[in-house]
């Protein structure tokens, strides 16, 4: 069980710390991309311009039906801009294609006589001049999922409805060199200038940082983009011509132009121009646009500003659309909630989860180190270390909680006293001072190994006198010397059956193999040196 616990703490400790390091490196970049399930619906309505009042008819639009009348006319109106942005193909791990369908609807109008009326939208596909639908476009753009910058794979603007069996490309125009943000900024937005793309004028314009502002508890950066004036007739339709309503050639009287050098019946050509000032509030961590408003201004004016053109014509302006669109409170609440959700995901993935996992991993590793240290440095208990005098109990001070001490029989008073040790788990008594003493008793053992037997006294053993070893008679050690008749050459094979025969030693260096010296016989008498004198 202890080994399992050690393995558990070590494994999960290392795993948690590894996860705390890997998650910010691997998971957070996966979260910091344009989501493929993006589906945003935003609503903006016209509001009075700053310093003005009256929100029922805060906008001004051109009366399209007046082209068939004697004089151009305008309406005071209330408008609603609705946009839905979703992800479509081609989209993958590297790019996301956004399709944003936008409409501007005329809710109600009031003419110059003060007459109010509500407009309706046709359902049969035939659009009348007084139809409630003012404009309708479908924008498609592919962006890099990490940077939210257009990558040029898909970049088109659909201006017309697609007939049954038709092709979307035939109803769209290609928008080249688009590089600005539009529906979402990139991640980690800074307080600097960014490009922003304007669909109405089809151009990029710089968006400058203005201020920080908190909206519904979300910190945002306020950017302002001034869209420069653009001749909308220069923006072709899918057929390559100027869009309908961008060029009008009407009599001066219809325009209401009077002045020096201008006659009522003179045909005067006017082009429709557009400009805008757009304000967006961006959550800086995720780049989510949480709120915004834009001041749209479209007007007719002469494209010829040369000195040959009468001054009355050069200075003429007639508003075709003048409105300030403000995001609705519901849209702002929806976007702030979305931004909070994305921010929380990044915080949990990049901060909270790594910290929690790192702390848990550190605690588990500390627990593992403690368990290992405790296993190696376990505090000594009674009987664990007999060399430690503090752990050795005495007769007078038995160990607390230990079984009763079993002592040996005490030695006689005139002998060295025997030390008795308390019997603990498996311990036994031992007297180093009486080692070798014949009167020393054997040690005894305690439960749970065996019941302690009675003390047994080993009987004294008197040492016996050393035994005297009697060596046999040396005469018995002498070998019998054979007679001369029994001499045999040593080169002959010895007769093992000859009684009393002793095999010659191989170390006898007097043996010549053919001649044996007569002096080799130790029993033969020595010759008398005087017997040959005087002979």
Burial of 525 (0-12, 13-18, 19+ CB in 10 A): exposed
Tell which residue, 216, 189, 225, has the closest CA to residue 290. Answer: 216
DSSP helix/strand/coil, 372: helix
Whether this model's pTM surpasses 0.85: no
Q: What is the DSSP letter of 245?
A: T
Task: Answer yes or no: are the C-beta atoms of 428 and 443 closer than 8 Å.
Answer: yes
Q: Tell me the domain boundaries of the chain.
A: 1-31+336-378, 38-327, 381-453
**Category of 287 on φ-ψ map: left (φ > 0), alpha (ψ -120 to 50) or beta:** left
CB 57 within 8 A of CB 77: yes
Query: Do 520 and 490 form a contact (C-beta atoms < 8 A)?
Result: no
Q: What's the pLDDT at 532?
A: 55
H or E, element range at 413: none
Q: Which residue has the tokens 């002096």?
A: 519
Tell how strand 133-144 and strand 116-118 pair up.
unpaired
Q: What is the pLDDT of residue 45?
A: 96
Regions of the chain where pLDDT drops below 50: 382-383, 386, 391, 395-397, 399-402, 404-430, 434-436, 445-450, 477-480, 484-487, 489-498, 501, 507-515, 518-520, 535
Which residue, among 180, 299, 175, 298, has the nearest Cα to 238 in the 3D structure?
A: 175
Provide the pLDDT for residue 423.
Answer: 46
Between CA 75 and CA 114 the distance in angstroms is 10
Q: How many CA atoms lie within 13 A of 398 on its CB side?
A: 11
Are the beta carbons of 96 and 145 closer than 8 angstroms?
Answer: yes
User: What residues contact 126, with CB distance under 8 A and at least 6 apart?
Assistant: none
pLDDT of the residue at 472: 54
Q: E strand or H helix at 506, and its extent? A: none
Can you say how many angstroms the Cα of residue 47 is from the centroid of all Cα atoms in its chain?
A: 46
Contact 79, 62 (CB under 8 A): no
C-alpha span between 384 and 449 (Å, rounded):
17
pLDDT at position 443: 52
Task: Give the SS3 label for residue 519.
Answer: helix
């Amino acid at each position: 069980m202890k080994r399992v616990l050690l393995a558990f703490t070590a494994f999960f400790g290392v795993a948690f710390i590894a996860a705390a390091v890997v998650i910010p490196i691997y998971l957070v970049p996966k979260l910091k991309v344009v989501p493929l399930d993006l589906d945003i619906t935003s609503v903006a309505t016209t509001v009075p311009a700053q310093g003005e009042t009256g929100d029922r008819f805060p906008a001004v639009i051109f009366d399209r039906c007046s082209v068939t009348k004697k004089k151009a006319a305008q309406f005071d109106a209330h408008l609603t801009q609705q946009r839905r942005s979703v992800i479509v193909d081609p989209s993958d791990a590297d790019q996301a294609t956004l399709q944003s369908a936008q409409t501007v609807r005329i809710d109600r109008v009031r003419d110059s006589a003060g007459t109010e009326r509500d407009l309706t939208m046709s359902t049969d596909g035939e659009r009348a001049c007084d139809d409630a639908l003012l404009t309708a476009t479908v924008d498609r753009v592919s962006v890099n999922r990490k940077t939210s910058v257009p990558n040029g794979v898909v970049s088109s603007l659909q201006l017309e409805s697609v007939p049954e069996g038709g092709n979307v490309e035939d109803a769209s125009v290609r928008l080249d060199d688009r590089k600005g943000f539009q529906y979402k900024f990139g991640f980690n937005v800074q307080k600097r200038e960014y490009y922003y793309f304007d669909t109405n004028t089809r151009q990029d314009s710089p968006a400058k940082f203005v201020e920080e502002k908190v909206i519904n508890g979300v910190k945002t950066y306020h950017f302002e983009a001034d869209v420069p004036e653009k001749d909308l007739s220069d923006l072709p339709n899918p057929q390559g011509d100027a869009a309908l309503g961008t060029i009008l050639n009407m009599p001066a009287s219809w325009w209401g132009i009077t002045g020096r050098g201008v006659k009522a019946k003179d045909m005067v050509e006017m082009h429709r121009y557009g400009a805008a000032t757009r304000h967006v509030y961006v959550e800086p961590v995720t780049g989510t646009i949480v709120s915004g408003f834009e001041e749209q201004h479209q007007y007719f004016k002469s494209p010829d500003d040369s000195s040959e053109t009468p001054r009355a014509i050069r200075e003429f302006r007639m508003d075709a659309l003048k409105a300030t669109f403000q995001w609705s409170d519901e849209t702002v609440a929806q976007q702030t909630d979305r931004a909070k959700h994305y921010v929380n995901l990044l915080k949990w993935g990049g901060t909270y989860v790594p910290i929690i996992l790192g702390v848990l991993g550190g605690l588990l590793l500390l627990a593992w180190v403690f368990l290992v240290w405790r296993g190696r440095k376990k505090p000594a208990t009674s009987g664990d270390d007999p060399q430690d005098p503090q752990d050795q109990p005495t007769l007078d001070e038995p160990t607390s909680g230990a079984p009763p001490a079993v002592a040996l029989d005490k030695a006689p008073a005139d002998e060295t006293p025997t030390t008795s040790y308390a019997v603990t788990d498996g311990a036994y008594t031992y007297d180093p001072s009486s080692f070798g003493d014949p009167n020393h008793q054997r040690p005894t053992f305690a439960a749970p190994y065996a019941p302690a037997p009675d003390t047994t006294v080993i009987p004294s053993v008197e040492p016996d006198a050393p035994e005297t070893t009697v060596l046999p008679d040396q005469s018995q050690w002498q070998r019998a010397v054979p007679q001369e008749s029994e001499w045999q050459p040593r080169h002959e094979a010895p007769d093992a059956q000859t009684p009393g025969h002793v095999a010659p030693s191989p170390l006898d260096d007097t043996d010549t193999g053919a001649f044996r010296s007569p002096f080799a016989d130790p029993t033969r008498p020595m010759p008398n040196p005087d017997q040959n004198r005087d002979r």
